[in-house]
């Protein structure tokens, strides 16, 4: 290996007591390939095996914690104990590759397709439809009652218990990409006037309660060190919506929680804030400054080459997540380790589905979405 890349392969010690063998994380990416009953398919397991060996940690695609939280067709479930054997199948396959296996847990809220949830009853913090950047509106959700909110908090804890019993090394709480936790934090989707809404601090109540419940369950059920992370999106395009200033307050509070890492969701690693920041630094740099070394941050967004990864590390971020790039080239990590970084593929081989071990549903989504992946026009 070229010594210039040694920094990518330094081990990372986490607060929980777990150690990652290097700084590379396989980012969570939905693959739409589970069985209709919510169990993990062999195709899905093989997809993970193909691209997990080199990574220090793998964060799975999100799994729903309640039946009314299913956000995608072909998403695997963790909403009841019958799913533990399915979860164990995935956890075991990942750990056999020598990586840390982290289960991403989530509730889709108003982003759930009505035909995927019981009785089409989509729910959210408030009865406010999602708004896309073109001004289009999604279906209007039903506002959750307080006892239902408390029940969902408990469900995140129960899913964490199932992850422990299935043999995962940790869980990542999915508070990003417009799903339910973000819906409670956002002034666009949360218009509540009870303890879960109103001020910025009150809008933090639901996600913070989930962090606390997950950690309580870990303390009660985990016999070995168990990773807990939190993923967040820094801003929303809507007005009202989450601003960079809101997120920096939220990150400040999260960094004081017993979390092993925070994971920022970005399309571009060096993207600039839309609003709520008065200086010229990137979103990532602002978040790193606010964290002030209290908790590791995972950076993500269009990292393709080994040199891109080094440039990312130069910002001070200790962990780097790769999503699309590890689909394009599952051997990315090993190529750098073996001194073959010049052989890294950075555009999708449109004839390479079988070689790359990508399930049909995900492959079809990729090749039919121009611009999502380099090489797909």
- pLDDT tens per residue, range 300-356: 888 999 999 999 999 999 999 999 999 999 999 999 999 999 999 999 999 999 999
pLDDT at 274: 86
Find all residues with CB under 8 Å of 148, minimum gap 6, and list them: 123
Domain boundaries, the chain: 3-367
pLDDT band at 278 (very low <50, low <70, confident <90, very high): confident
Q: Is the dihedral of CA 45, 50, 54, 55 positive or negative?
A: negative
Average pLDDT, the chain: 96
| CA–CA dist 261, 299 (Å, integer) | 11
Q: How confident is the model at residue 134 (pLDDT cuts 50, 70, 90)?
A: confident
CATH topology of domain 3-367: TIM Barrel (3.20.20)
Tell me the pLDDT band of 284, cut-offs 50, 70 and 90: very high
DSSP 279-327: SS--HHHHHHHHHTTSS-EEEESS--SHHHHHHHHTTT-SEEEESHHHH
Residue 306 neighbours by CB distance under 10 Å: 21
DSSP class of residue 105 equals E
Rounded Cα gap, residues 262 and 231, in angstroms: 6
How do residues 10-24 score in pLDDT, each as one tens digit? 999 999 999 999 999
Beta pairing partners, 63? 105
Q: How confident is the model at residue 269 (pLDDT cuts 50, 70, 90)?
A: confident
Predicted confidence (pLDDT) per residue in 37-90, tens digit: 999 999 999 999 999 999 999 999 999 999 999 999 999 999 999 999 999 999
First-to-last C-alpha distance (Å) of the chain: 34
User: Rounded to an integer, what is the distance from CA 259 to the centroid of its chain?
Assistant: 14
Nearest-5° Cα angle at 215, 212 to 217: 110
pTM assigned to the model: 0.97
């Amino acid at each position: 290996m070229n010594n210039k890349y040694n920094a990518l392969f330094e081990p990372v010690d986490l607060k929980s007591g777990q150690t990652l063998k290097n700084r590379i994380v396989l980012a969570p990416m939905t693959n739409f390939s589970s069985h209709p009953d919510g169990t993990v398919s062999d195709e899905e397991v093989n997809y993970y095996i193909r691209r997990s060996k080199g990574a220090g940690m793998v964060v799975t695609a999100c799994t729903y914690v309640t039946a009314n939280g299913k956000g995608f067709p072909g998403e695997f479930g963790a909403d009841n104990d019958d799913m533990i054997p399915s979860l164990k199948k995935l956890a075991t396959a990942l750990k056999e590759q020598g990586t840390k296996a982290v289960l991403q847990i989530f509730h889709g809220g108003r982003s759930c397709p009505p035909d995927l949830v019981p009785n089409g009853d989509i729910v959210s913090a408030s009865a406010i439809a999602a708004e896309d950047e073109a001004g289009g509106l999604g279906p209007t959700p039903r506002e959750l009652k307080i006892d239902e909110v408390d029940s969902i908090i408990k469900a995140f804890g129960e899913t964490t218990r199932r992850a422990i019993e299935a043999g995962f090394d940790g869980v990542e709480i999915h508070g990003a990409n417009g799903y339910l936790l973000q819906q409670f934090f956002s002034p666009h989707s949360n218009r509540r006037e009870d303890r879960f809404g109103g001020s910025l601090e009150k809008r933090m109540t639901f996600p913070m309660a989930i962090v606390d419940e997950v950690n309580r369950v870990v303390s009660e059920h985990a016999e070995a060190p168990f990773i807990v992370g939190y993923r967040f999106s820094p801003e929303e395009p809507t007005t009202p919506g989450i601003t960079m200033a809101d997120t920096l307050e939220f990150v400040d509070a999260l960094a004081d929680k017993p979390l092993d890492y925070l994971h920022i969701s970005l399309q571009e690693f060096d993207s600039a804030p839309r609003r709520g920041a008065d200086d010229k630094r990137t979103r990532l740099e602002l978040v790193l400054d606010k964290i002030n070394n209290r908790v590791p941050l995972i950076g993500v967004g269009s990292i393709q080459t080994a040199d891109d990864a080094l440039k990312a590390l130069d910002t001070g971020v200790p962990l780097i997540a790769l999503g699309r790039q590890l689909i394009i080239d599952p051997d990315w990590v090993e190529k750098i380790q073996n001194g073959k970084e010049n052989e890294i593929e950075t555009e999708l081989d449109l004839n390479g589905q079988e070689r790359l071990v990508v399930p049909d549903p995900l492959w079809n989504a990729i090749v039919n979405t121009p611009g999502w992946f380099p090489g797909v026009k």
